[in-house]
Chain A
Amino acid sequence: MTHRSVSFITGLLFALGLGVSGMTQPEKVIGFLDVTGAWDPSLTLVMGGAVFVYLFVFRVVLPRRDRPVVGDRFGIPSRRDIDAPLVVGAALFGAGWGLAGFCPGPALTSVVTGMTPVLIFTAAMLAGMGLHTLYKKLREGA
């Protein structure tokens, strides 16, 4: 195994999970966020199911290993501070998510459909990421 093959398998499984769960249907995602209207609660089970498995692995499997199968250490984020970029970034992301019903994984998984709205959203998303790279450079240069 290499990092390359691990991430390929992760991406593949991730896409299948997103497709089966309903996350690749923007109308369904918007229905999930529409809590004051015809709320569709089913997608709570997507996050719930995923967190359940991850929590178990993080609490039970991870502590029994001193290193990952590939590579020499676990790269677990250690920051604990709640800062403005975290909150503002999450707020902007949520607004975009609610507007189109797409978050990054489902959009990329849907690219192969060739549907114009998916391509437009994904191109804009990548451009938004590029804008952040520029923004960071400008701030660091200042």
Chain B
Amino acid sequence: MNVPTSDLLAALAGGLTIGVATSFMLIFSGRIAGISGIIGGLIPPQSGDSDWRLTFLLGLLVGGFALRLVYPAAFPAEIPASTLGLVVAGLLVGFGTRLGNGCTSGHGVCGIGRTSRRSLVATMVFLATGMITVYFTHHVFGGAA
């Protein structure tokens, strides 16, 4: 455990920015900025309830594009993962966030930020299973997924 101070400051700055983004949506739109919920509501799209979801997605993509231009270090040079691992992981994340009504943003930030008991439980559970999964992939079976 030896983390450069710059990583800590970057994490804090990013976290504060995410706090501002989610708070902005709360005060301006009265909505919870849960990414899996916003995107999941597009599958399938419901008439009259898609525009704001699509512009949110567009904002994420434009933000990603801006990062590539200004701060390319935000993205890794390569991602060492097997196709099978990525497919299984993606299915679990997609199905799980919809079944559990939220992900890191909806439960982890907005839910805990309003001291919701459901979100606190969900966050403890996904942190725990995430840690257990990494324990198995990295220390029991060795090597990434």
Report which A residues bind B (CB closer than 8 A): 1, 3-27, 30, 33-55, 57-58, 61-62, 65, 67-71, 73-77, 79-82, 85-100, 102-105, 107-113, 115, 117-118, 120-133, 135
Contact = CB atoms under 8 A, between A and B. Distances in A.
A99 B60 contact: no
Interface of B: 1, 3, 7-8, 10-33, 35-36, 38-40, 43-44, 51-53, 55-68, 71, 74-76, 78-79, 81, 83, 85-101, 103-105, 107-118, 121-123, 125-135, 137-139, 144-145
A132 to B, nearest CB: 4
- SS of A interface (majority): helix
Contact of A88 (B86, B100, B109): B100
Contact of B90 (A6, A52, A128): A128
A99 B90 CA distance: 9
A46 B101 contact: no
A42 B107 CA distance: 20
A62 B23 CA distance: 10
Contacts of B123: 90
Most chain B Cβ neighbours within 10 Å, of A1, A26, A41, A93: A93
A91 B96 contact: yes
Nearest to B30: A68
B23 to A, nearest CB: 4
Contact of B108 (A9, A42, A47, A79): A47
Contacts of A44: 11
A33 B133 contact: yes
B9 to A, nearest CB: 9
- Residue in B39, B104, B138 with the greatest tally of chain A CB atoms within 10 Å: B104
Given A97-B130, A108-B64, 11 more contacts: A6-B28, A42-B8, A45-B8, A46-B18, A90-B100, A90-B126, A92-B92, A99-B137, A100-B85, A115-B78, A133-B98
